[in-house]
Amino acid sequence: MKRKVLSTLLAATMLTGLLAGCGSSQEPAASNNEPAATTPAADTPAPAQTTPAADNAETQAAVDTAADEGKVLNVYCWNDEFYRRIRDHYPNYEVIDATHGTIGDVSVVWNITPNDDNAYQNNLDETLLRQADAATDDKIDLFLVEADYALKYVDTEFTMPVKDLGITDADLENQYQYTKDIVTDSNGVLKGVSWQGCPGVMFYSREVAKDVFGTDDPAEIQQYVKDWDTFNETAKTLKDKGYYVASSANDTYRVYSNNVTSKWVVDGKINIDENIMKWVEDSKALVDAGQIGTHDLWSDDWSRGFYPDGKVFSYFGPAWLVNFSMAADKEGSIGNLGGWAATEGPQGFFWGGTWICAAAGTDNASLVKDIMLQMTANEEIMKEIVVADDDFVNNKPAMNAMAEDTSYSSKILGGQNPLAMYCAGVEGLDLSNLSIYDQGCNEEFQNAMKNYFDGNTDLDGALDLFYKAVVEKYPELTY
Amino acid sequence: MKSRKQSKVVSYNKWGYIFLIPFIVVYIIFQMIPLVTTVINSFYENYRSGLTQIGPNFIGFKNYATILQNADLWTYAKNTLIMWVMGFVPQILVSLLLGAWFSNPSLRLKGQRFFKTVIYLPNLIMASAFAMLFFTLFSNSGPVNSILMQAGFISEPFKFLSNTWSARSLVAFMNFLMWFGNTTILLMAGMMGIDTSLFEAAEVDGATSTQVFFKITLPLLRPILVYVMITSLIGGLQMFDVPQILTNGTGDPMRSTMTLIMYLNKHLFSKNYGMAGALSVLLFIVTGILSMFVYKATNRNQE
């Protein structure tokens, strides 16, 4: 008898243990609500004093209507850039911790998934596809996309037209046209907004310029890099003094690839543009001469040029690169000492950019609308962003005014005001050749060509590898 | 009294089944269902282009045909086997040596416990963390290149990860480092299970320690060796994390470090369950055949 009791007990223990794993998954969601509940309702101070009265009223309205909307704003993004912009510039945002905050009585949950290995998009895809069935507080309200894959999301039902949020064309009239082109779907409906423009320039090290050319004046340096042939000549001069013209062949890639005249995919067939083949040819010569590296972007080897020891003359990029990604906050880096300068470089280009999209089915429509308007159409806030973060914002009058403002200068660029250069570049951007395959094609092309540059295969072998990798990613394509 | 006893026997059987429930439940959920769905998936065209789902459409054996006609599959299989052999051979040799030393009472090794722990430690590190560490160590401007350059062995950084054999060797070396401790422990357990009277008899007969090792230890260790070999082979065929992280998923240079599972993983970018399923099924069959082959071959020799 005793044994029977004992075995019953044992079996019961085992079953409880087995089932204990289930059932507690709701807890985190519940605790997310807590901050909202404990935040006093009166926590709606007037927004930053700089905000014009009209916007002020709008913020007030947004917070009021939010009362009958969802209490949780879910934001999906891949790094803390947008988080920092909201934290520093959005009126009423209160920090709780790195991934939680509040706006009025709505709690903001930041779901930050890094871009590596496509993790951000995988996560976003799965959540968006489940959006219809999700509890209202778990629905994505707002997510960010990049130019490379914006069309993948914009050209679907999962993204809400900004018009449906109540944002009019007049609200956005000061934004650069190309930022709207990228997030306009195939029916011509605008589905996202951006606070930044990403025209790229060439950043070069002042110290190296002085050492090699005897001057660090942007106008004079421009003469050494005014087109690709001159650029390649300059690379030889730099090599003689022991410097690399740029960190990696992948640095110049976007400059070539943004000046293409055809899309990556034409009628379901993979197509390589002439200008991209020119990149291959030019880069192979530079790599063989030891004038440029073949590192992957963002790798440690690539980043060595952020410091004087890296012996790198230039990087190509838009405002956010020099501000956000080039170790300017680390002591001893070139950026930290104000050692960079900007010049147009051989060709105009853009790189990246972040767009804010509203997810269809959001339960915080008015708050999403307000965030979009405040961050991308409020001139005062956008000027603040330029001054505080060296960003190039998506607002023509603000940028033109700042470009002429002699009192504004970038610390990282050694006191230069680069905005006129950006303003000039942004007007010439032609984004008619984007496709939903851009991200995969660009990545795989650079991966494949790295093998060619390193001498592990010939050009045909590398092209073959590229086709193979692209078809793996997009099985519907042929070559 | 008698009948009560009998009922007890029966009820104990019942407890046996109840205690099997956890295993069955876990097995069905985490093994059986995925296995069956993988096989089913392999007969469908089923992938996602952007956010648009294509399929599932039943297409019979078309996925298998596509994969088998692709000459690259054999390259990836070859890569996998090469890297496995490069890691396994030193692993089994070192493990045998260490196992023999550790289990030999006449050597009276000091600090045995310490060394057993130390050699097992690399296995406790996550493979991905380990690969990241090696990626940094052997990058073009990494510490290994700095040391080699300062010592004057090379004048320019050696691109370890852009060279077929150095990249493969790194993968093999990492697998060796991670698994030789585990193998040592297994072999040691096998060696200590051998009747000591056999060793004593051999010693009395005047056998040298080399003779003892090759004539007594090794033959009696065969079952354990077979086990180690099969598990390592299956693990080797599934090699993924180390080369994936080390080469950033590209299998560079020229996909010479691309393993079968990395290739499978490539199909998951487009959520291509059809192709990935077909590849998994093929891999499953190959693994089964190889295991059986090794098992049979080693057992027959014993007779």
For residues A243 and A348, is the Cβ–Cβ distance under 8 A?
Answer: no
CA distances from A321 to A49, A194, A251, A326, B123 (A): 30, 17, 12, 6, 39
* Band (B10; pLDDT cuts 50, 70, 90): low
* Band (A48; pLDDT cuts 50, 70, 90): very low
Residue of A nearest to B265 (CA): A472
Please, which residues have CB within 8 angstroms of residue A458's CB and are 6 or more apart in sequence? A452
Task: Assign domain A199-351+405-473 to its CATH superfamily.
Answer: Periplasmic binding protein-like II (3.40.190.10)
| Whether the bond into B143 is cis, omega within 30 of 0 | no
Does residue B6 register a pLDDT over 60? no
Helix ranges restricted to H, A20-107: 27-38, 53-65, 81-89
For residues A319 and A270, is the Cβ–Cβ distance under 8 A?
Answer: no
Does residue A418 register a pLDDT over 50? yes
Inter-chain contact A156–B47, Cβ cutoff 8 Å?
A: no
Please name the member of B47, B51, B266 whose beta carbon is closest to the beta carbon of A125.
B51
CA dihedral of A97, A102, A108, A114, whole degrees rounded to 10: -30
A94 close contact with B: CB closer than 8 A: no
Task: Indicate the residue type of A111.
Answer: N
Inter-chain contact A475–B270, Cβ cutoff 8 Å?
A: yes
For residues A322 and A335, is the Cβ–Cβ distance under 8 A?
Answer: yes
Please name the member of A7, A153, A474 whose beta carbon is closest to the beta carbon of B15.
A7
Residue A245 CB coordination number (10 Å): 24
Among B51, B66, B70, B135, pick the best mutation site for testing chain A contact (most A Cβ within 10 A): B51
Task: Indicate the residue type of A245.
Answer: V
CATH architecture of the domain B67-302 equals Orthogonal Bundle (1.10)
| Collapsed DSSP state (helix, strand, coil) of residue A410 | strand
Per residue in B153-196, pLDDT (tens digit) is 888 888 888 888 999 999 999 999 999 999 999 999 899 888 88
B294 compared with A2, residue with greater pLDDT:
B294
DSSP B130: H
> Distance between CA atoms of B102 and B187, rounded to whole angstroms?
10
Longest pairwise C-alpha distance within chain A = 98
B139 close contact with A: CB closer than 8 A: yes
For residues A104 and A44, is the Cβ–Cβ distance under 8 A?
Answer: yes
> Distance between CA atoms of A127 and A113, rounded to whole angstroms?
12
> Distance between CA atoms of A179 and A192, rounded to whole angstroms?
9
CATH (one of 3.40.630.10, 3.40.50.1010, 3.40.190.10, 3.90.79.10) for A39-197+353-395: 3.40.190.10
* Band (B7; pLDDT cuts 50, 70, 90): low
CA atoms within 13 A on the CB side of A93: 25
Please give the structure tokens belonging to residue A218.
């942007």
pLDDT at A1: 57
pLDDT at A55: 43
Interface of A with B in 292-351 (CB under 8 A): 293-296, 299-301, 304
Please name the member of A304, A440, A450 whose beta carbon is closest to the beta carbon of B252.
A450
pLDDT at A420: 83
Phi, psi of A96 (to 5 degrees): -105, -60
Mean pLDDT across chain A: 82
> Distance between CA atoms of A273 and B55, rounded to whole angstroms?
32
pLDDT at B301: 56
Per residue in A55-81, pLDDT (tens digit) is 444 444 444 444 567 889 999 999 888
Please, which residues have CB within 8 angstroms of residue B251's CB and are 6 or more apart in sequence? B79, B243, B257, B258, B259, B262
Q: In 3D, which of A227, A203, A225, A221 has the Cα closest to residue A278? A: A227
How close does chain B come to A441, measured CA to CA in Å? 13
Q: What share of chain A is helix, strand, coil (3-state, %, to 5)?
A: 50, 15, 35
* Band (B9; pLDDT cuts 50, 70, 90): low
In chain B, which residues have their Cβ closer than 8 Å to the Cβ of A472? 266-267, 269-270
Does residue A324 register a pLDDT over 80? no
| Beta-carbon contacts below 8 Å between A and B | 81
pLDDT at A282: 94
Q: Where are the beta strands (DSSP E) in A134-207?
A: 142-146, 199-205
pLDDT at B36: 94
Inter-chain contact B51–A117, Cβ cutoff 8 Å?
A: no
The distance of Cα A115 from the centroid of its chain, to the nearest Å, equals 10
Residues forming beta bridges with residue A112, ordered by sequence position: A77
> Distance between CA atoms of B77 and B10, rounded to whole angstroms?
51
Please give the structure tokens belonging to residue B248.
């950033």
pLDDT at A60: 44
- Average pLDDT of A31-46? 37
Per residue in A122-145, pLDDT (tens digit) is 899 889 888 888 888 888 999 999
Per residue in B34-87, pLDDT (tens digit) is 999 999 999 998 888 777 788 788 988 899 998 888 888 899 999 999 999 999
Residue of B nearest to A437 (CA): B50
**DSSP sequence for A425-467:** HHHT---TT--TTHHHHHHHHHHHHHHHHTTSS-HHHHHHHHH
B165 close contact with A: CB closer than 8 A: no
| Whether the bond into A199 is cis, omega within 30 of 0 | no
* CA angle B276–B279–B283, rounded 5-degree value: 135
- Average pLDDT of B8-26? 82
